[in-house]
Amino acid sequence: MAAESVVEQQAILEDIKEKERKLILMEKEMKEKCDKFDLHKKSTTDELDQRKKLMETEFKQKCDELAAKEENLNQRTGNLNASDRFMKIQLLLDEVYTLFVAAGGKPEDLYESLKLVLEARAKF
Q: Where are the domains of the chain?
A: 80-124
Task: Tell me the whole-structure pTM to 2 decimals.
Answer: 0.38
Q: Where are the beta strands (DSSP E) in the chain?
A: none
Model confidence over 15-63: pLDDT tens digits? Answer: 999 999 999 999 999 999 998 888 888 888 888 889 889 999 999 999 9
Helix (H, G, I), strand (E, B) or coil at 123: coil
Distance (Å, whole) CA 12 – CA 35: 34
In tens, the pLDDT along 65-93 reads: 999 988 888 777 666 677 877 888 899 88
